[in-house]
Amino acid sequence: MRRRLALSIALGAMVASLAACGGDSDETETPSGGGAAAEKIVVYSARDKKVTDYVVEQFVAKHPEYKGKVEVLNMGAQEVLERTRAEKANPQGSVWWGGTQQGLSSGANEDLLEAWQPAFAGEMDARYKDAQGRWFGEILLPEVIMYNNKAIPADQAPKDWDELIDPKWKDKVIIRDVPASGTMRSIYASMIQRLSADGSNPQPGYDWLKKLDANTVEYAANPADLYLKMSREQGVLSAWNLQDILLQSEQSNMPFGFVMPASGAPVLVDGVAVIKGGNSEGAKTFLEFLYDGTLRASLAKDFFQIPAVPIAEQPEWLANLGLKPMDVDWDVIAKHETEWINHWNAEIKNKG
């Protein structure tokens, strides 16, 4: 009798212990500090995947509570705007990472972005941020002439924008399709605005783009398609952003070179924002991390970024770049870009 009683007590204790262990496994994971669990951060990004993968890895290392909880959707900058706009009534994203100042300004004016004042904003030039704190410039992005350096020797590559429309380059130019790309929209709008300072007469710019279209063999569907076809010499000239050219050349061994145009390069302010109605707390934690001094120095050195907030020491490539900015009125472009690109898409593309 005593043995049966002792066995019953022991089994009861074992069951209680197992139940307690099983209950622990069903609890929501919390950070080591004992606070509330981190909410998932959805990031819409126009950055190169190499950059986003690296940054997320570094972010999670510093904020382990977000391990497995950062989802990055890579897309064109214009696609970020259009997706955020379409989801306004039910936001799905939290972070807008990588977009032109005109695209971000459109988002701000449509009440898609949350206003806030992060710690890094005080260090930033007023030209590189929204006055109401709805978006902030992360990097400066020069737009340059890109060429296949196996097909074209450096001394024979075009030295300025107007050389791209020389008939000798017919069927040698390949362009990332324009409407979905913030980079290409900015380049094409700059080509129009340089010929019409106030934007009131875009026709000379349209005529220029028609000549470029005549030399264009194909419009690539996305950046990966552009890089593949350029490397295969299906087109050997393009216009593209400096950072991505250097990333493809130095990290993926693509046969790409670049020319800083003699008349100047349009320099975009490429920025970030918190999407209104998303995971605001997580988004702000992520964006504050993007402006960490150590991270920005690493991105400048290894990923060819030109920080909007200066870093203590420039890497050699940046110190020797010889950047020559084009005189671009981005306010004029913001006013007319949609009209100009829609006209190009309907009246010029594949008709040169």
Evaluate whether 109 touches 341 at the Cβ level (below 8 Å).
Answer: no
Residues 6+ apart with CB under 8 A from 158: 145, 147, 164, 166, 169, 237, 259
Cα dihedral 333, 188, 290, 288, rounded to 10, equals 20
Q: What is the pLDDT of residue 236?
A: 98
Q: With the C-alpha atoms ordered 176, 179, 181, 184, is the resulting torsion angle positive or negative?
A: positive
Residue 154 CB: number of other CB atoms within 10 A? 10
Q: One digit per residue, pLDDT tens: the chain, 352 residues? A: 433 334 343 434 433 343 344 444 333 344 444 456 789 999 999 999 999 999 999 999 999 999 999 999 999 999 999 999 999 999 999 999 999 999 999 999 999 999 999 999 999 999 999 999 999 999 999 999 999 999 999 999 999 999 999 999 999 999 999 999 999 999 999 999 999 999 999 999 999 999 999 999 999 999 999 999 999 999 999 999 999 999 999 999 999 999 999 999 999 999 999 999 999 999 999 999 999 999 999 999 999 999 999 898 999 999 999 999 999 999 999 999 999 999 999 999 999 8
For 179, residues 6+ apart whose C-beta sits below 8 A from its C-beta are: 78, 185, 341, 345
In the chain the domains, ranked by start, together with CATH numbers, are 41-140+269-315 (3.40.190.10), 141-266+326-348 (3.40.190.10)
The amino acid at residue 2 is R
Do 316 and 186 meet the contact criterion of CB atoms below 8 Å apart? no
CA angle at residue 60 from 62 to 90, to 5 degrees? 125
Which ranges constitute the DSSP H helices of the chain? Answer: 2-25, 49-62, 77-86, 101-109, 182-193, 203-215, 223-231, 242-251, 280-290, 293-303, 316-319, 330-343
Name the token pair of 216: 């264009």
- Number of helices followed by number of strands (H, E) in the chain: 12, 10
Q: Which parts of 75-194 are beta strand (E)?
A: 95-100, 136-148, 173-176
| DSSP-based three-state secondary structure for 77 | helix
Q: How far apart are alpha carbons 104 and 57 in whole angstroms?
A: 26
Please list the residues that pair with 216 across neighbouring strands: 173
φ/ψ of 313, rounded to 5, equals -140, 125
As beta bridge partners, residue 314 has none
